[in-house]
Structure 1
């Protein structure tokens, strides 16, 4: 393995080889990329492998409820301006998937790693990152994820005293609370449309005051820090006050926010904002998200949204009526089995659109749309939706496994 770490030990080499073999067997059997099973095998043979693989890399970790995969991809593109990058670009973001990704990057200079929220402190301990990007925290996978404030507290404890530069969203009180234990924080004004998980102060439990874009706790004085980077319209404002245009092929305000955080991360590694943002233009789709495909002679745009905050951002991407909208929700293990979050989403944003509903939990969604006074049809399959939908590009919004099901069916 290249770099200043010296060669891998025989045990580590064996672990990497065995992991790659297990991944190849999994792929040959048609069970996906094999990255998770490969990583599990490798870590079983050498529990310290993740730390060993990271020693020659400048690592940035990316964690959040929404936007991890896209931001990881944007940062990776930006850092390629300075050298080879290894990244878990397909979103396998727990230790096994991360280990698999790094095992494939022996000649890389940078490691750009998406990390599941629950594993952030552990992975940070193992890989000694140079930077950590914290974007947002909101309710997700209600049956198994910790309550958001508890998660922020875990991050705060796990990152206390870290040597990494923390690039953190100043507009999310939970992120600010989590990052505030760190000695070196770069604050980014990336915005926060979804506020329903941050009405109480994470420091004292008091009621959060939110005048305009500002926020503070009236009881303990915990408040929004002054950002040094900011998203302003279609521009990134850097710490010197210069405005750099954002030109993305990815749609929506949320991706401009992701690009702003990514530019701040790239600057930490010496890549200027202009270079970083120009490189981000290369990203057209991320693991199928935002892809526009043709299926049964109809154009469809595939949008992933897994929780209330994600659905709110995604609704803002859909142009006015009468564009038909297909909604698909499952509640399998990877989604979280509790669908009560559907009641937190404001479906009146879709008023005027013909809505079609499929997925394992289509009836849960149908009840919610009925209460919201929306016009919709429940269908058995995407094929049926295409036959019934009026003209125009079909906007498809699906949660995690429903999104994978749809990609398989439409050949994406």
Structure 2
């Protein structure tokens, strides 16, 4: 990957080879893609490997609470118009998974990398990115992640003085606070449906005023910056005021917002909006999300929702009542073991839908639905839930590990 001008050191080559061997062994043993364990081994052998692998790439980092994986895919598709791309498309977004992904892209020009919010500052330090996309920050994995204000502060300190062009959502006050330490920011009006994590000013703690789509702090004057890119209905407005139509196979307003941010990133690398947006149409599903699968003679649409902001966006996608909805929630390590976030989700939006509840924490979810006056049935597993659903397409909404369980069960 480092090209002829600067070949990898013998140690780095050994680390890459060993990592790939361990990953292959893990795959052969049926333990997943092997990318994380392979990356861990490679980094043990050469702790500077991530930086070495990134040194001849134009790197884009994508971080957010929601939409990272999809936006990474959209940017990767857009940049393929300008050259080969290497990307961690399957969402292994901590340093080991990122290292593994880059080790597989020897002829790439661009590295498009999804990064877990907690690791953004460190990965940015190692990879010297040309562009960093910041989409949103909201509560997630309550037992693992610091509260959102602390994450924003971590980003702000980690990105201060960065040479990267930061493409940031001006509608999320926490993202604006984080990005404002960078000297080169492109502001995108991508919208913010979930506002409950940004009611106080991240700068001074004052109460945020939100007239219409605007926001500002009445205490210290911290306010929404003027965007140069914007999502406007089904179009992206570029800095010249031209409106470019968004044609996606992915559903919902959130994905149009992801496309708007992706078009702004592509422009940093000289790919025009029209070309970028046309290429994004190729993306049909992202790691199984939005896929419609056949199961027990029914059509199941698989939707991922990991936190309150994600559930809110997902509810806006589903077919109207009386479309049946299956909800599945786990609380394993990758989900966060604290399920108190269920109380932040407005489940009254499901009124009129027949609801079926499965997953490790189905009883936690059942209590929440009871309080929200929803009609639901608790089921033992997906098979039973599908059999109890009335005919027609079934919307299946699950959090992270529950979603992986569902994909395995339906053979997706």
Query: 2:161 is matched with which residue?
Result: 161
Corresponding position: 1:138 with 2:138: yes
Corresponding position: 1:67 with 2:67: yes
Q: Secondary structure at the match of 1:367?
A: helix
In structure 2, stretches of 5+ residues that fail to align are none
Query: 2:189 is matched with which residue?
Result: 189
In structure 1, stretches of 5+ residues that fail to align are none
Q: Using the TM superposition, give the Cα deviation of residue 3 of structure 1 relative to its aligned residue in structure 2, in angstroms.
A: 3.0
Q: Secondary structure at the match of 2:405?
A: helix
Corresponding position: 1:277 with 2:280: no
Query: 1:88 is matched with which residue?
Result: 88
Query: 1:382 is matched with which residue?
Result: 382
Residue-by-residue CA offset, 1:19-56 (whole Å, 9 max, x unaligned): 00000000000000000000000000000000000011
For 2:207 and 2:5, locate their aligned partners in 1 and report how far apart those are by CA, in whole Å.
49
Residue-by-residue CA offset, 1:62-92 (whole Å, 9 max, x unaligned): 0000000000000000000000000000000
Q: Using the TM superposition, give the Cα deviation of residue 409 of structure 1 relative to its aligned residue in structure 2, in angstroms.
A: 0.4
Residue-by-residue CA offset, 1:242-270 (whole Å, 9 max, x unaligned): 00000000000000000000000000000
The two structures have a TM-score, normalised by structure 2, of: 0.99
CA contact 2:2–2:54 (8 Å) conserved in 1 = no
CA contact 1:5–1:56 (8 Å) conserved in 2 = no
CA contact 1:4–1:56 (8 Å) conserved in 2 = no
Q: Using the TM superposition, give the Cα deviation of residue 5 of structure 1 relative to its aligned residue in structure 2, in angstroms.
A: 5.0
Residue-by-residue CA offset, 1:177-232 (whole Å, 9 max, x unaligned): 00000000000000000000000000000000000000000000000000000000
Q: Using the TM superposition, give the Cα deviation of residue 2 of structure 1 relative to its aligned residue in structure 2, in angstroms.
A: 5.0
Where in structure 2 are the equivalents of 1:32-71 lying within 5 Å?
32-71=32-71
Query: 2:299 is matched with which residue?
Result: 299
CA separation of 1:5 and 1:330: change in aligned 2, threshold 3 A: farther
Query: 1:127 is matched with which residue?
Result: 127
Query: 1:263 is matched with which residue?
Result: 263
CA contact 2:356–2:385 (8 Å) conserved in 1 = yes
The two structures have a TM-score, normalised by structure 1, of: 0.99
Q: Secondary structure at the match of 2:311?
A: helix
For 1:55 and 1:388, locate their aligned partners in 2 and report how far apart those are by CA, in whole Å.
55
CA contact 2:2–2:55 (8 Å) conserved in 1 = no
Count, aligned residues: 412
Query: 2:235 is matched with which residue?
Result: 235
Where in structure 2 are the equivalents of 1:168-179 lying within 5 Å?
168-179=168-179
For 1:134 and 1:193, locate their aligned partners in 2 and report how far apart those are by CA, in whole Å.
16
For 2:106 and 2:6, locate their aligned partners in 1 and report how far apart those are by CA, in whole Å.
11
CA contact 1:5–1:55 (8 Å) conserved in 2 = no
